Amino acid sequence: MPESQSQSQHFDVVVYGATSFVGQILTRYMWNEYGNSGKVSWAIAGRSKQKLRDLQIKLGGDALELPVMVADAADKAALKEMCEQTKVVISTVGPYALYGEPLVEVCCELGTDYVDLTGEPQWIRAMLDKYEDSARQSGARIVNCCGFDSIPSDLGVYHLQQYALQSEGEPCQHVRMRVKAIRGGASGGTVASLMNVAKQAAEDKNLRRLLANPYALCPADHGFATYQENLKKAKFEDITGRWIAPFVMAAINTRIVHRTNALLEKEYGERFQYDEAMFTGKDMQGAARGWMMSLGLGAFMLGAALPPTRWLLENYIMPKPGEGPSESQQEKGFYDLRFYGTTQKGKLLKAKVTGDRDPGYGSTAKMLAESALCLAQDIAKDQVKGGFWTPASVFGETLITRLQDKAGLTFDILHD
């Protein structure tokens, strides 16, 4: 059963999975930024009382006074007791397809808002199908993908489209997101999530079809039918004048951006196209890098899909659950994303999104924390109703402001 040192307190936020690799970074951020100041009332939660206590000790100062709750991901009664005490639950307990459903079910039943870091489209689709009606009825705002996938992509497109609508009177019909520069690593939790999707997809034809559908997360009546390019190998791109290669996060980000368009009543247009890729250079070296990256990603995907190589990857090559980039790797990490939008009249508009710290951990932890606080403190229940939202459709410019003020991100329109 959950234990709270302050049962009567109503929290803004509970960090569930505070002892995960990314949860610890997030908790450190919350502690450094908000501490016990009273600006934010918050608690930490997880399955192990001892690990939570160790985390409090690591945080130092009077962090032992932070309220603590203990709940296993499968224990609905304990999850219910936790959710009843807070406006928003942050969950980093993943792979979500393995552990995430009971918490979503409980939040949807009680009307508790929820944010997470899943990048698992098949799980989001299943949760939508099962719990969207109940979220609408209870008023729970469920917001998946509040980390590197998919906040910079989703809010970057949103920011560019708002500019296009204001300056050109029409949205960009095609937006290309290109990763100009990035430095970061992967954690065991992320690897476990990727491996789980690969394993499920290898066994299930319908899932493979779902994963290949760019509109997989859109409402059933979306009506979008525009051809979406799904880049599988390197190529030279005239519009940007560079070689490009596939970007591993495109599989989730593109689905989220299309769902945003659907939820914003097709503000980006009926025929909106969106794709993502990595820049690899302008010359023959760029071409060689692009081909190496395409082949490397293809080999990794194949390795993850086949049981013997998946076993090798999981046990000997990739980080294990709880492991991830070192503190100095997190500090040195960064990303620089470029957005190229073309309107129907042929105008080219550009935007840039950057982040400090490594994308998947240092930056993700700050984005997730600020998303939760945005829901708890900035977006009233009568302003945005219950349901399954995307970051851009629920937060819009409000979160962009928070991320620029607090979380080391920048969003700029480029006029060169």
> Is 147 one of the binding residues for ligand NAP (CB under 6 A)?
yes
Please give the Cα distance from 184 to 329 (Å, whole number): 7
What is the helix (H) or strand (E) element at residue 168, kind and residue range? helix 151-168
What is the helix (H) or strand (E) element at residue 372, kind and residue range? helix 364-373
Among 95, 156, 269, 286, which residue interacts with ligand NAP (rule: CB under 6 A)?
Answer: 95
> Is 12 one of the binding residues for ligand NAP (CB under 6 A)?
no
**Nearest CB to ligand NAP, comparing residues 171 and 319:** 319
**Nearest CB to ligand NAP, comparing residues 11 and 96:** 96
CB 184 within 8 A of CB 359: yes
* Two tokens, residue 45: 């939660």
CB 154 within 8 A of CB 256: yes
Query: Where does residue 38 fall: left (phi above 0), alpha (psi -120 to 50 degrees), or beta otherwise?
Result: left
For tokens 């609408």, what's the residue? Answer: 136
The site that binds ligand NAP (CB under 6 A) totals a number of residues, namely 34
Verify cis geometry, omega within 30 degrees of 0, for the bond prior to 150: yes
Among 119, 214, 246, 355, which residue interacts with ligand NAP (rule: CB under 6 A)?
Answer: 119
> Is 190 one of the binding residues for ligand NAP (CB under 6 A)?
yes
- The residue type of 244 is I
> Is 96 one of the binding residues for ligand NAP (CB under 6 A)?
yes
241 contact partners, CB below 8 Å, separation of at least 6? 282
> Is 17 one of the binding residues for ligand NAP (CB under 6 A)?
yes
Nearest approach, Cβ of residue 283 and ligand NAP (Å)? 32
Pairing of strands 348-356, 334-343: antiparallel
**Nearest CB to ligand NAP, comparing residues 17 and 171:** 17
CA 1 to chain centroid, in Å, comes to 29
**Residues 292 to 321: which contact ligand NAP by CB under 6 A?**
321
Nearest approach, Cβ of residue 271 and ligand NAP (Å)? 29
Of 92-100, 225-233, 333-341, 345-353: span binding ligand NAP (CB under 6 A): 92-100
Among 2, 94, 171, 333, which residue interacts with ligand NAP (rule: CB under 6 A)?
Answer: 94
Nearest approach, Cβ of residue 361 and ligand NAP (Å)? 6
- Cα 348 to Cα 152, 171, 389, distances in angstroms: 20, 11, 29
Among 189, 214, 246, 269, which residue interacts with ligand NAP (rule: CB under 6 A)?
Answer: 189
Name the residues that contact ligand NAP, by CB under 6 A. 17, 19-23, 46-48, 51, 72-74, 92-96, 99, 117, 119, 147-149, 187-190, 193, 321-322, 324, 360, 364
